[in-house]
Structure 1
Amino acid sequence: MIKNKPFWRRIVVYLIYAAVCGLLQVTWPATLAILGQSPDLTLVLAVLAGYLFGSQDAFLAGLSAGLARDLLAGRVLGLGMLLLLYAALAAAVLLQRFFKRNVFFGLLQVAFFTLAYEVMIVLITFLIPLQPDEPYGLLYLLARLPGQLPGQLLANLAAAVPLAFLLVFLGPYKRSQRLDGSDASFTGEDAWRTS
């Protein structure tokens, strides 16, 4: 018999979602791109899981989504995991005191963290160029950002709606175990509130 089934269910669900989102992200057809941009599904997964379910789930989702991103990108492990972990943990904390966890504010979080992530990637590309013999200037990188940011925002928001509903209805918690906010003993501050 498996002990602590809810914990293992969360791990398995986030690993499956991270693998599927990562594979969809790298195989997304160009014909479905919005303004030339494909959705960043691993970022959307990390942010939504962090916002909807709290910091423990943010940790699991951020690490698993970052691992999927790093493995599929063929880079050294660590940078994608770190960035998505920070994004998920920040999403778990940001706006938590002011709003109940619902899909609309989850979409606002996706938009905010898409913008923050794109700016962070520009800074990392400037500070640590992938090809040291061809460094990019900061002004060049910042000049390209307004051209790709609207498409990335729209693509991520379009992907966030079905992913949010998948997380809520086929996510890490059984529907009967999800709390309405009156008792936080099962998941602590990680309860998804519907009212």
Structure 2
Amino acid sequence: MRALLSRIRPGLVYALFILLGSALQFDGYFLGSYGLQADFLLIFPLLTGMCYGSRDGLIIGLICGFARDYLAGRYFGLGMFITFLLGWASGYLPSVRGKLRFVFYALVVTVVTAVLRLVEAILAFGEQGYSSRLGFTWFLAQKGSTLPRQILINLVGTALLLVFHFIMPPYPRSDERSGEIMINFEAKEKNVNR
């Protein structure tokens, strides 16, 4: 029984995180009524890839992208592809040990949030810019006006997900502490040694 539980533990923990994150992101009763909706289904694949490797990030990115597209009412494809790529690529980022990794996580979430807002402005301009004769700077200003607030909310969401990862990790923690270097730029199957 214990062997079976250890084999299905990652799937159960990931499913719980995805359900909780999608409920917090798309249900207005929790945080939406206050305008505090972190993009949990974007942050979770990033953290999974950085903490547990590109394979887990890829799978979680695909599932979170599907849930994000389905619950947002958009067509399928672009959101799934973006979170799939982000989860996969975050597994190849340099592994960082110690307390410095939290700064690295915050930096990655900040950059990804800003870049996705820029991509949203470009796509909105491509779709509506020619017909409405509005300039690209108007679309960029509309998307950028809430960017600092969204970055702050996503950083708070990142902190919440890290607390949940600490309380209930998908994989058992190793008891050994390795004396490796602080920042390793070689891609590994598992990025962060805990």
When normalised by structure 2's length, the TM-score is 0.77
The aligned counterpart of 1:90 is: 89
Displacement of 1:134 in angstroms is: 6.4
Q: Which one of 126, 138, 150 corresponds to residue 140 of structure 1?
A: 138
> Over alpha carbons, which structure has the higher Rg?
2
Coordinate RMSD, CA, aligned: 3.1
The aligned counterpart of 1:185 is: none
The aligned counterpart of 2:107 is: 108
The aligned counterpart of 2:153 is: 155
Displacement of 1:147 in angstroms is: 0.9
Displacement of 1:9 in angstroms is: 3.0
CA contact 2:52–2:190 (8 Å) conserved in 1: yes
Distance in 1 (CA, whole Å) between partners of 2:63 and 2:110 is 21
Displacement of 1:5 in angstroms is: 6.3
Distance in 2 (CA, whole Å) between partners of 1:134 and 1:16 is 43
The aligned counterpart of 1:51 is: 50
The share of aligned pairs that are identical, in percent, is 27
The aligned counterpart of 2:125 is: 126
Moved more, 64-73 or 8-17: 8-17
Deviations 1:33-61 (A, max 9, x none): 3xxx5211111111111111110111122
Displacement of 1:92 in angstroms is: 1.9
Q: Secondary structure at the residue paired with 2:189?
A: helix
* Structure 2: unaligned runs, 5 residues or longer: 180-187
Displacement of 1:149 in angstroms is: 0.5
CA contact 2:120–2:143 (8 Å) conserved in 1: no
Shift of the 8–123 alpha-carbon distance from structure 1 to 2, 3 Å rule, reads: farther
CA contact 2:106–2:158 (8 Å) conserved in 1: yes
Moved more, 48-57 or 166-175: 166-175
Shift of the 2–107 alpha-carbon distance from structure 1 to 2, 3 Å rule, reads: same
Distance in 1 (CA, whole Å) between partners of 2:108 and 2:4 is 31
CA contact 1:179–1:191 (8 Å) conserved in 2: no
Do residues 189 (structure 1) and 192 (structure 2) align? Answer: no
Query: What does residue range 5-84 of structure 1 map to in structure 2 within 5 Å?
Result: 8-28=8-28, 29-33=31-35, 38-84=37-83
Q: Secondary structure at the residue paired with 2:146?
A: helix
CA contact 2:47–2:105 (8 Å) conserved in 1: yes
Shift of the 164–12 alpha-carbon distance from structure 1 to 2, 3 Å rule, reads: same
Distance in 1 (CA, whole Å) between partners of 2:39 and 2:173 is 27
Shift of the 63–139 alpha-carbon distance from structure 1 to 2, 3 Å rule, reads: same
Displacement of 1:192 in angstroms is: 2.9
CA contact 2:117–2:144 (8 Å) conserved in 1: no
CA contact 2:62–2:84 (8 Å) conserved in 1: yes
Shift of the 15–133 alpha-carbon distance from structure 1 to 2, 3 Å rule, reads: farther
> How many residues get paired?
182
Deviations 1:40-83 (A, max 9, x none): 11111111111111101111221121111111112222221111
